[in-house]
């Protein structure tokens, strides 16, 4: 009996360890079957089978449109840095030829838009090591980017930090107005979020003018319901209380004490926009 219990314990331990070691895909790379997507990473390899050891059929450039045929869930998720994604069976057209193959989902755009004849791609390019000065330790940091494309030609690109793997549950990419900022055609807004208590949400505003991209200071929001929160937002000229050619970064922090009383702290920074760049007032 003792031998049987020992065997069952070891089997349970092995199963638990296997579950702990399993890699799950990040939500931002969860693409819908039978839907078009865009390649974000240049020289994305198309393979005969899902996996880095499979034969390479082709390579695709940024802004190539592909059709998602199937998410491959029977093969392990591939993790590169903090990016975790499934393999996908796809089809695409080059010239008059339709081809099928497999690509890694981390090389796809997590959002794309078209305006005034240009394509705007939002994706995650890599993971880097960054030193956290307050903790005096190295942390993993994902780098995201926005590309402006005219067909196959790259017009402009810009890159920015966008959190860690745990903060890649959801993503959005939208085009907003120019917020009444001088000479700005429109504003791009890229967001990633962990959608959980204590996990940050990052909002990146990028101004578009004369085929150039200007990234504003990134916004970060995080909180734990009823315990604390940190919120950041912009007040633009077209908002209530906005000032011409000025945008204001408003920050609010709240935490509860041991008697559940809320303590709030507010601060702000004012930035001046001159039609091509900004500076802190």
Kindly report the number of other CB atoms within 10 A of residue 38's CB atom: 22
Cα separation of 42 and 125, whole Å? 10
pTM of the model: 0.88
**Residue 261 is encoded by which pair of tokens?**
């009383």
In order of their start, the domains of the chain are 25-108 (2.30.30)
Residue 165 has pLDDT above 90, yes or no: no
DSSP state of 77: P
DSSP string, 189-222: EEEEE--STT--EEEEEEEEETTEEEEPPPEEEE
- How far apart are alpha carbons 26 and 170 in whole angstroms? 8
Q: What is the pLDDT of residue 112?
A: 97
**Can you read off the two tokens belonging to residue 232?**
């950041």
Give the mean model confidence (pLDDT) for residues 168-184.
96
Angle at 173 between CA 231 and CA 52, to 5 degrees: 110
Taking 60 as the threshold, does the pLDDT of residue 15 lie above it? no
Q: Is 230 exposed, middle or buried (0-12, 13-18, 19+ CB in 10 A)?
A: middle
Cα(242)–Cα(245) distance, integer angstroms: 9
The rounded mean pLDDT for the chain is: 90
């Amino acid at each position: 009996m003792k031998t049987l219990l020992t065997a069952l314990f070891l089997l349970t331990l092995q199963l638990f360890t296997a579950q702990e070691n399993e890699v799950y895909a990040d939500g931002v790379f969860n693409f819908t079957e039978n839907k078009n997507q865009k390649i974000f990473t240049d020289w994305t390899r198309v393979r005969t089978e899902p996996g880095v050891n499979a034969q390479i059929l082709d390579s695709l450039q940024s802004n190539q449109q592909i059709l998602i045929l199937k998410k491959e869930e029977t093969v392990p998720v591939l993790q590169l840095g903090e990016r975790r994604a499934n393999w996908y069976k796809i089809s695409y057209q080059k010239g008059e030829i339709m081809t099928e193959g497999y690509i890694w989902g981390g090389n796809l755009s997590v959002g794309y838009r078209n305006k005034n004849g240009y394509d705007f791609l939002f994706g995650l390019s890599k993971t880097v090591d960054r030193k956290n000065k307050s903790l005096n330790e190295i942390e993993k940091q994902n780098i995201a980017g926005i590309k402006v494309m005219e067909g196959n030609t790259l017009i402009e690109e810009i890159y920015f930090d966008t959190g860690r793997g745990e903060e890649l549950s959801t993503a959005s990419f939208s085009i907003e107005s120019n917020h009444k900022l001088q000479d700005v055609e429109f504003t791009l807004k890229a967001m990633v979020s962990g959608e959980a208590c204590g996990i940050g949400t990052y909002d990146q505003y990028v101004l578009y003018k004369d085929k150039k991209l200007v990234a504003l200071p990134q916004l970060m929001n995080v909180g734990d319901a009823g315990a604390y929160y940190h919120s950041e937002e912009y007040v633009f000229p077209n908002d209530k209380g906005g000032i011409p050619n000025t945008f204001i970064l408003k920050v609010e922090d709240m935490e509860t004490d041991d008697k559940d009383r809320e303590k709030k702290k507010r601060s702000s920074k004012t930035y001046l926009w001159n039609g091509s760049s900004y500076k802190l007032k």
